[in-house]
Amino acid sequence: MLPEDRFLVAKGATLARPGEAAAGPALVYECVRPFAEWRKSFQGLARLATGDELRAGPLRDAPHLAVDMHLTWTGSSPVFDMDMSEQSWADVKAHYQQHCHVAGVLEFGGERMELEGFGMRDHSWGPRDLARLGNHAWIYCAFPSGKQLMYFHHDEAGGSGALEHGHEVVDGAFAPVVNAGPLPLPREPGAWKAPYALDLRLPDGTVRTLTAEIITGQPLSIANGSEIILGAAGPDASHHLLECPTRFEWDGEVGYGITEWTWRTR
C-alpha cells in the first residue's frame, strides 16, 4: 500500500519444502530469534496498480516492475492465540500472533522508501477452506504511548462457531476487551470508505469508543476454495476481502492500523 492510492501487488505459488526456510515466490522469511525477530525479503516482480483499477474488479495483467524489499520484524508484545478449534473452515493445528515493530526498505521503479512502523505477525499450521468462511472483521492498531489494540469477530456462514477475541496491550500486559454495542463491521463492500465507531468494554466494566477513519482500501477476493484474487470480487468469488489502512482514536490518542473484513458474495 503506497502513497497516492497506489499498490504493489504480486501473486504466485510454490512448493513447500520441509526443513528449508519459510519461502514463497520471490519471498523468504528468516527466523533470527524465535518469537523476537524475523526478517522478510521480497526480490522479484510486482504489478504497480491504482486503487481505481483494484476496486473496478479482478485485476488484469500488465507489465511488472522489479521490486527489492527487506523488512525486519521485532516482537513488541508476548505471543498470543485465538481459539480457532470451533471454526469449521480451518483445521488449524497450531496458531499464534504477535504485535511487532517493523523497519526496512522498499525499492521499485526508481523509487526508494524507508519504512518504519508496526504490524501483526499471524502464523498458523493446517489446511483451510475459505469458501466456508462466514463474514469476519479484524481490527488492529498502535499508538504513540506504546498501547496496542486488536479486535476480531467472525460469524460462521451456518450461524454457529462464532469467534470473538479482543485485547488492549499496555506495557506488555494484555487486558481483554469485548464488544459492548452494535458491530459496525463487517459491512457491504460499497461502504468500504465510511468511518465507523466500535464500543469496547474493558475488564473494569468501563466502555471506551474506538473511532476509525479509513485512509484507503485494497480490495481482494476469495475464490476456488482458498485462492486470493487481486482486485474486487468477480462472478466466481465467494467473498469480498478488504484491507484498509486506518486512522484510529482510542483513549485520547491518535494511532494507525488496519481494518480488514470479508463479505460473502452469496
Strands 111-125 and 163-170: what pairing? unpaired
- Span 30-40, mean pLDDT? 94
Q: Domain-by-domain residue ranges, the chain?
A: 6-264
Q: Is the pLDDT of residue 231 over 90?
A: yes
| 211: β partners | 197, 249
Look-up of cell digits 500486559:
173
Check residue 56 and report its DSSP letter.
H
**Both ends of the chain: CA-CA distance in Å?**
28
| Cell numbers given for 262 | 470479508
Q: Which residue, among 133, 80, 173, has the nearest Cα to 264 in the 3D structure?
A: 133
More confident residue, 195 or 156: 195
Pairing mode, if any, of strands 227-230 and 239-250? Answer: unpaired
Q: Are the C-beta atoms of residues 196 and 217 closer than 8 Å to each other? A: no
Inform me whether the pLDDT recorded for 162 exceeds 90: no
Which sign does the torsion angle of CA 82, 88, 89, 95 carry?
positive
pLDDT band at residue 221, thresholds of 50, 70 and 90? very high
Least confident of 7-21, 69-83, 211-225: 7-21
